[in-house]
Structure 1
Amino acid sequence: MSEGQSVPLNEDQALYLFAVMRKEKGDSIMLFNGRDGEWLAEVVDAAKRRGVLICRSQTRPLQAPPDVWLLFAPVKKAETTYIVEKAVELGVARLCPVQTRFTNSDRLNRDRLQANAREAAEQCGATLVPEVAEITPLDRLLAQWPADRRILWCNEAKAGLATALSTEGRGQPWAILIGPEGGFSEDERARLAALPQVLQASLGPRILRAETAAVAALTLWQSVLGDWA
């Protein structure tokens, strides 16, 4: 995007802006595309199923989230949607659904979750929409895991998370791993424990639901190593 550039709207975007949000010709709206930051744009054409915006000025440069991925086992539809939405609001670079032995759901509508991520980014004023990856078996993901990306494994059997994290890891690539409702199998636990990139820590004295654990872990990670620190 650049000053004076026109941005045509597709049918869904036009319906949302003009029928739902009640925007009209001459109104202003903020735009972002994940590359050029945030721009103030003006509505110059507002029809029922089409429209055109003109970029007027940049209001913010691109503000990418910290380089942290969220690895999570899908749960029920509503709870999985909640995980995606809250992860985007809290700040993640990538969302990676994983298939574990005890994962309750092995089917995932990736397009729907990507749309949820985009809507959450719009709501919270982000300038980048994290990618929602294809669901991948945990064993396969770990077999090709990059050597320089650390994994925070939220393991209720280990020490408290707040004391396990250290600011020495700030600026490094990270991932946070949240298990399924039934927990990890013994084989999966052994595989994770053997990886040198893995840091094990608990989320406190109470067992948390998967969606609660994702929010708690991201909150604590952001406060120590992320852009909240």
Structure 2
Amino acid sequence: MTASAGSPPARVAVVTGASGGIGAAVAQRLAADGMAVVVAFAGRRERADEVVDAITAAGGTAVAQQADVADETAVAALFDRTEELYGGVDVVVHAAGIMLLSPLAELDLADLDRMHRTNVRGTVVVDQQAVRRLRTGGALINFSTSVTSLALPTYGAYVATKGAVDALTMVLAKELRGRDVTVNAVAPGPTATPLFLDGKDQETIDRLAAAPPLERLGQPEDIATAVAFLAGPGRWVNGQVLLVNGGVAR
């Protein structure tokens, strides 16, 4: 719901990668939970505006803000604007990321550099601002992947970047001792997003959908529910990488 006139919203969330897929679902879920949401995006202004429109049409509060997550100046400006608009930051969900798949023997190192810039440097840059600015009772939620455990072929370079996210998440949880701020990561399994479905034939999609005991692909809303738990009532979960994959075996 929207905040009453003249008063700040109860809680404020910044969601990166929020112009589509899981990030958009997270932004809409947190807004439905009563948070004001800053929909951060890299280059898809129209899609970010669509997410904002969906939130406001449902009675929520949201604004779009462009930021390259690997650019420390742009990310600082993202947090500055959030504080100017809403008075502070309570939840940061870093959902921005890219995935480029290849067997290691055939890997284009330029693809590795692209993933490292967004997935590793971007996480460091966003998390640095988050830990400097999150208010008491806040939550930082990074995005990892279940493939770090599943060890699927062609995912090597990608999971290398996400392994860095896992390690950083656990370190930050300890560095924030005494702040009453939780730091966790969610690790989705196969989820029906454009990022996941791109380039996969139907046979591959069907095989991956059959892997979980629940026998379906995850939906963005499934991941958003886990994020909402960590951002809200899940205060005793801290320094964890939460596998959100329908029970896919390691």
Q: Which bin holds the TM-score, normalised by the shorter protein? A: 0.3 to 0.5
Normalised to the residue count of structure 2, the TM-score between the two structures is: 0.39
Higher helix share: 2
The structure with more radius of gyration:
1
Higher strand share: 1
Normalised to the residue count of structure 1, the TM-score between the two structures is: 0.42
